[in-house]
Amino acid sequence: MKNQEKNTHFVDFFLKRLKSALNFNTDTELAAFLEVSDQTLSNWKARNSVKYDIVFTKSVKENVNLHWLFTGQGEMFISGISTLNNNSDMNCNECPYKRLFDKMEKDSDWYQAEIDRLNQKLDALQAPEMPQSKQKCA
């Protein structure tokens, strides 16, 4: 098994928590909720990156606690924010978490690139050395 396959992807855990909060059993249900295709959801997992504005907007409308969603800590839902649920015009560009999501997406890309780079180095170190050609004595 390649080292990259052993890496735990944040996005996979993140999406599993969202599925759990919304009582979804399948990725197809989650994709429909997020209004993306199954393939898009699969690509997010493979790239370890999501469109945080989509996930944030949909999660907030369901009162999912974003701290819990990102960390798994705290309560799954936030109560007392019904005004967010009723605001159909809410735009993530206006939300206070936008910079955090942008940074997380950028960091996620950087960490994945760093993991890939280190895995290549590790693979090179683990590759069997080629035997040196026998030199003929003259």
SS3 call for 95:
coil
Residue 113 lies in a domain: no
Q: Quickly count: other Cβ atoms within 10 Å of residue 44's Cβ.
A: 22
DSSP conformational letter for 77: B
Which two structure tokens, joined as six digits, stand for 29?
């249900």
Residue 124: what pLDDT?
Answer: 85
Contact 108, 10 (CB under 8 A): yes
Residue 128: what pLDDT?
Answer: 73
Instruction: Provide mean pLDDT across the span 118-125.
Output: 85
pLDDT, tens digit, 9 for 90 and up, residues 1-30: 444 444 447 888 889 999 999 999 999 999
d(CA 73, CA 79): 16
Residue 95: what pLDDT?
Answer: 58
CATH of the domain at 34: 1.10.260.40
Q: Quickly count: other Cβ atoms within 10 Å of residue 56's Cβ.
A: 21
Structural domain containing residue 48:
3-103
22: closest CA among 9, 35, 33?
Answer: 33
Is residue 132 predicted with pLDDT exceeding 90?
Answer: no
Residue 120 lies in a domain: no
